[in-house]
């Protein structure tokens, strides 16, 4: 397998190291050694030594959620996410992707979203139509919200309406490229999709990005891949914190006792931890998980649920167990994808809220 010398060095270092064994959210949920960074490195090293074929390890390569907990926890600076994504890219180049991943990639290229959806729900379509006029501010909803969680996307629009913000929403919003980056890494197709999206953003002074996954792509990955956008890009949670601080968005504390599920894209990748807490503290009584902020634990996502739904259920249930361990009976999250995962498995009596849920009541 063709792999950079840097990734080979990281693979050979990780394959005999157990230091992040305890931190992988997939491994902790499944209890399987194969889901650790060490096991993944062992598999890749066997391919590099031509002991096995690349196709033999690809199911395992796609069991990684690329959350970066292993990277964050590594005191020696090794990066399993780097070599995992590089392996995915090489598999795409060698036409050795699993069929279920090829299907998602084809959907991204043919329909503009990983789910192959051609239309949004009617309520969201109507809400978007109210904001078809060009303004200085664009609300970027993202494919997960638009096609898989339209109620939450509609709620995001209604919150900004309540604050009196003059904003636009694109009826033909392009995909940010985040899904393709997860599936096949820094491929030409990924960069082309990102460039198309960046071009659509350039006509606005401010772009408010609703989904943390898209925010990571636009704010962090675009510059890494040489994709430029002229707009000022802010996360939805940062924007809401500013609206509350200015008094434009008037909120009432519900008194609900909640813990906040930090999306790793905001906390670890973008360094945003306090802005969501500013918002949530104005809406509810906030306490914390044992592992929070940069130490957060992945709670599942919509994309991986397309090909490993049972594992995503286990991951989400484990995060709810973590909440119950600190006496919490409700979780609030700013990630539409984690919201979907947690909501799908929460038992009666345990609350799962988005920020929009708390604001709109």
What is the per-residue pLDDT for 78?
A: 87
Please enumerate in sequence order all residues whose Cβ is within 8 A of that of 20, keeping only pairs 6 or more positions apart, or say none: 36, 37, 38, 69, 70, 73, 74, 80
What is the per-residue pLDDT for 283?
A: 97
Q: SS3 sequence, 116-132?
A: CCCCCCHHHHHHHHCCC
pLDDT in tens, 83-125: 999 999 999 999 999 999 999 999 999 999 999 999 999 999 9
CA–CA separation, 100 and 15 (whole Å): 27
CA–CA separation, 305 and 325 (whole Å): 25
pLDDT in tens, 192-221: 999 999 999 999 999 999 999 999 999 999
pLDDT in tens, 139-197: 999 999 999 999 999 999 999 999 999 999 999 999 999 999 999 999 999 999 999 99
**3-class secondary structure, 201:** helix
250-360 — its CATH code? 3.40.50
CB 331 within 8 A of CB 262: no
**Considering the chain, what is the average pLDDT of its residues?**
96
CA–CA separation, 175 and 313 (whole Å): 26
- Name the pLDDT band for 58 (thresholds 50, 70, 90): very high
**Has residue 1 got a pLDDT over 80?**
no
CA–CA separation, 304 and 356 (whole Å): 24
With 0-12 / 13-18 / 19 or more C-beta atoms within 10 angstroms meaning exposed / middle / buried, residue 139 is buried
What is the per-residue pLDDT for 317?
A: 98
Question: Average pLDDT, stretch 4-13?
Answer: 87
Q: SS3 sequence, 39-101?
A: HHHHHHHHHHCCCCCHHHHHHHHCCCCCCCHHHHHCCCCCCHHHHHHHHHHHHHHCCCCCHHH
- Angle made by CA atoms 242, 156, 220, in degrees to the nearest 5: 65
Pinpoint the residues of the chain covered by CATH 1.20.1050. Answer: 122-241
Question: How many other CB atoms sit within 10 Å of the CB of residue 203?
Answer: 14
**Minimum mean pLDDT among 31-45, 137-151, 161-175, 231-245: which range?**
31-45
- Name the pLDDT band for 18 (thresholds 50, 70, 90): confident
Pinpoint the residues of the chain covered by CATH 3.40.50. Answer: 250-360
- For 122-241, which CATH class? mainly alpha
What is the per-residue pLDDT for 9?
A: 84
Bigger pLDDT: 74 vs 358: 358
- Name the pLDDT band for 20 (thresholds 50, 70, 90): confident
Bigger pLDDT: 245 vs 20: 245
What is the per-residue pLDDT for 207?
A: 98
Model-level pTM?
Answer: 0.95
What is the per-residue pLDDT for 227?
A: 97
């Amino acid at each position: 397998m063709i792999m950079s010398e840097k990734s080979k060095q990281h693979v050979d270092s990780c394959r005999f190291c157990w230091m992040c064994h305890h931190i992988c959210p997939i491994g902790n949920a499944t209890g399987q050694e194969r889901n650790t960074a060490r096991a993944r490195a062992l598999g890749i090293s066997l391919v590099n030594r031509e002991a096995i074929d690349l196709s033999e390890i690809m199911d395992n390569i796609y069991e990684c959620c690329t959350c970066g907990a292993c990277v964050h926890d590594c005191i020696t600076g090794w990066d399993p996410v780097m070599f995992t994504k590089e392996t995915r890219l090489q598999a795409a180049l060698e036409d050795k992707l699993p069929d279920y991943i090829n299907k998602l990639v084809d959907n991204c290229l043919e329909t503009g979203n990983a789910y192959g959806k051609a239309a949004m729900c009617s309520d969201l379509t109507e809400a978007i139509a109210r904001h078809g006029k060009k303004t200085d501010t664009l609300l970027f909803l993202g494919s997960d919200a638009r096609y898989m969680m339209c109620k939450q996307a509609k709620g995001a629009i209604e919150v900004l309406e309540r604050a009196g913000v003059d904003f636009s929403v694109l009826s033909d919003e392009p995909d940010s490229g985040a899904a393709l980056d997860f599936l096949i890494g820094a491929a030409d197709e990924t960069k082309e999709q990102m460039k198309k999206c960046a071009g659509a953003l350039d006509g606005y002074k401010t772009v408010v990005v609703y989904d943390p996954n898209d925010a990571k792509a636009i704010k962090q990955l675009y510059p890494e891949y040489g994709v430029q956008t002229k707009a000022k890009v802010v996360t939805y949670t940062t924007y809401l914190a500013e609206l509350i601080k200015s008094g434009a968005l008037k909120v009432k504390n519900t008194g609900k006792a909640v813990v906040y599920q930090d999306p790793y894209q905001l906390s670890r990748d973008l360094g945003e931890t306090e802005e969501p807490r500013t918002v949530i503290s104005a809406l509810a009584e906030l306490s914390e998980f044992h592992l929070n902020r940069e130490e957060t634990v992945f709670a599942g996502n919509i994309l991986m649920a397309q090909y490993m739904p049972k594992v995503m259920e286990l991951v989400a249930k484990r995060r709810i167990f973590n909440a119950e361990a600190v006496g919490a009976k409700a979780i609030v999250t700013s990630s539409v994808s984690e919201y979907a995962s947690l909501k799908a498995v929460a038992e009666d009596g345990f609350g799962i809220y988005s920020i929009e849920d708390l604001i709109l009541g």
